[in-house]
Structure 1
């Protein structure tokens, strides 16, 4: 049961930023994004990946690697689409 809860939690937290990323890609508007929040979240999920590798826990590794990808893409979009 613990594994099912862990995998489910990983899925939900991993996909939580996907709607934001899709909106940014569609509208190319990043005015309301905080690059600091994204950078802090990116740091946190990256550390979860390291932790997952230390424990050899693939659910932790995979769900957080997906989060790293989504949040890194969102941060890149912030710098590409922001008004200067």
Structure 2
């Protein structure tokens, strides 16, 4: 593999892995995940799981490693979505409590 390919791959992996950080910090600080799309993160978590399986099948540790980190971070957002959903918090008016 060429040096350029390694540089591009490393840059792509770092961007992917760090892209979830700001969303996690925002949700945690505001204790609000109502603007996060549940469907999008379910698909994202599924996609990273499939990338990990692909990495295992082709025995590519860089693919496995970067996607494990991305899976953990996107799964964290999914858990925070369930935990801090405004409509699900005690005392909060949500869609389920409306007539």
Q: TM-score range by the shorter chain?
A: over 0.9
Task: State the TM-score, normalizing by the size of structure 1.
Answer: 0.92
1:13-56 per-position Cα deviation (integer Å, ceiling 9, x unaligned) = 12111110111111111110111000101111111111111111
- Choose between structure 1 and 2: higher helix proportion: 1
**Partner SS state of residue 45, structure 1:** helix
Runs of 4+, deviation exceeding 4 Å: none
Work out which of the two has the higher radius of gyration on C-alpha atoms and give 1 or 2.
Answer: 2
CA RMSD of aligned residues (A): 1.0
User: Structure 2: where are the runs of 5+ without partners?
Assistant: 89-99
Q: Structure 1 stretches of 5 or more lacking a match?
A: none
In 1, the alpha carbon distance for the partners of 2:6 and 2:16 equals: 15
Partner of 1:63: 66
Structure 2 match to 1:14? 17
CA distance in structure 1 between the partners assigned to 2:59 and 2:10 by the alignment: 15
